[in-house]
Structure 1
Amino acid sequence: MSVTPSNLIVVILAAGLSQRLGFAKQLIVKNHQTLLAEKIQLARQLQPYQVLVVLPKLDNPISKALYNEVAPFAVTVVDNPTPQTGMAQSIQYAMTILQQQSVSAAMRILFLTVDQVAVTLDDLRLLSQNVEDNQLIVSEYGDNNQPIWGIPVNLPWGFLQAFGHQLQGDKGFRALWQHQTAIVSPTDRTVYQFYPILLPHLSQDIDTLEQFEQLKTAYHLLAPTQHFN
């Protein structure tokens, strides 16, 4: 099946503290808008059932700036009061909101991060088309000898319910699979098949100042201090 707007939820993981970078990656400016705003607009163009944005719920200026940044958009904000614990906690906070909403088992959840500066709407559409019910759609990038299966990922809600509690720290979804061809749910024995989509340009992300410097010219990036001051 193709994922339709009625059964697609997009979750944007934007609670990272950017400690190695030195400034908030969410507020890096690309083509006159922040990376956070860009990802929200990309997600909205998929016309999903819902967009969730996970933000760091802290009493500091950066957190307040992030909440102000998403305020104009029709999204559901997910508070993460413990962002220092890593990506896994953000995923689990988003899952808690979806559980409270009694999300249908037929739902697909597309997870994005803000710092993959090369991601396009076409990439997200590739990850959302011709999807089988129990397929785990993952992006493949990195070294040819040791490819990475990572975010963006499009996962069935049932898979998240079965395995999401196993996530820990900052390893994210990759901790759940090691290039297996399939993974079996311990709760109902559903067999989930992996379906990697080759998106080599998505290996480019921003965790350090060096990475920012390498990418800023090609992607017209400005540090938040250059744009907002």
Structure 2
Amino acid sequence: MSSIVLEDKDRQMQNHAVIMLASGLSQRLGQHKQLLVKDGELLIVRMIRSAVSTNPQAVIVVIPDKHPAIASVVTELALQYPAVQAVVNPKPETGMADSLRLGIESIASLGNSLIERVLIMGVDQVLLDQSHLTALLAGEQSVVASSYHSWTYSDELSATEPKNIIGLPLVIDTGLLRQWQTELTGDKGLRHLIRALPPSQIRTVINKQLSYDIDTPAQLAFAQKKGWLDQHSERI
């Protein structure tokens, strides 16, 4: 009976893996955004559960070294969800590119030919919901990315025009991601590479709520005022 249940579960798995970029040091924020709390649950836990719910072949969570509280949380979830695997970034201060490269290498090391696409996501877009991930994964282009505007941390209109952002979370063809691996440097990530693609290879899914990520104390205070994050947060 148990083998039948396992086979059914495997049949439901999709043709993608997830790379979760969670190794940021949150220096501008002054505390680790991974351990902020939303509805009584750590933000990194909510994001990992969201990733798992897409039925991926694997969830690679890239975390910073020398931060046992973050490592402990991910290790505990890996025991609960076999698809989850923690990868430690020994140089988290060097920027997003190193974390992304580690994630790409980890997926390649799995040797799983069923992984045709990779969902890349962060941990601090506090209004990200499951329907958006589903919409991204439903696209068939080489890159299916999120589209939203920069935000100004207040209820008042900003004097500056908000920038249009094409960014995370996004889904990308595995072959294209491997092709771009050597071009990832510093904090640039994939954005400049995606912009160079012909329009036929890109689809965007608009979601204004993704504007609200947490990088500064002002952004955190705004999110807490709105009730998007709990007033209490874990510190390490």
Tell me, yes or no, if structure 1 residue 77 matches structure 2 residue 86. Answer: yes
Task: Show CA shifts across 1:137-185 (max 9, x none).
Answer: 0001116984211000100100111112211111221131336534xxx
Look up the match of 1:122.
131
Tell me, yes or no, if structure 1 residue 25 matches structure 2 residue 33. Answer: yes
Match among 180, 184, 187 for residue 170 of structure 1: 187
Look up the match of 1:52.
60
- Secondary structure of 2:137's partner? coil
Equivalent runs, 1:16-165 vs 2, <5 Å: 16-58=24-66, 63-73=67-77, 74=81, 75-104=84-113, 107-129=116-138, 131-132=139-140, 134-142=141-149, 146-165=163-182
After alignment, is 211-220 or 4-13 more displaced? 4-13
Task: Show CA shifts across 1:36-80 (max 9, x none).
Answer: 00001111111111111100112xxxx100011112212111110
Match among 208, 214, 217 for residue 209 of structure 1: 217
> Where does structure 1 lack aligned partners over 5 or more consecutive residues?
183-191
The answer on whether the counterparts of 1:11 and 1:109 sit within 8 Å (CA) in structure 2 is yes
> Where does structure 2 lack aligned partners over 5 or more consecutive residues?
1-11, 151-160
Look up the match of 1:187.
none
The answer on whether the counterparts of 1:24 and 1:224 sit within 8 Å (CA) in structure 2 is no
Q: Distance in 1 between matches of 2:210 and 2:56?
A: 22
The answer on whether the counterparts of 1:88 and 1:170 sit within 8 Å (CA) in structure 2 is yes
Q: TM-score, normalised by structure 1?
A: 0.84
Identity of aligned residues (%): 33
TM-fit CA distance, 1:22:
0.2
Matched to 2:230, the amino acid is L
The answer on whether the counterparts of 1:105 and 1:158 sit within 8 Å (CA) in structure 2 is no
- TM-align CA RMSD: 2.1
Q: Which has the higher helix share?
A: 2
Moved over 2 A (4+): 102-106, 143-146, 177-182, 220-225
Matched to 2:147, the amino acid is E
TM-fit CA distance, 1:102:
2.2
Q: Which has the higher strand share?
A: 1
Q: TM-score, normalised by structure 2?
A: 0.82
Q: How many residues align?
A: 209
TM-fit CA distance, 1:199:
1.1
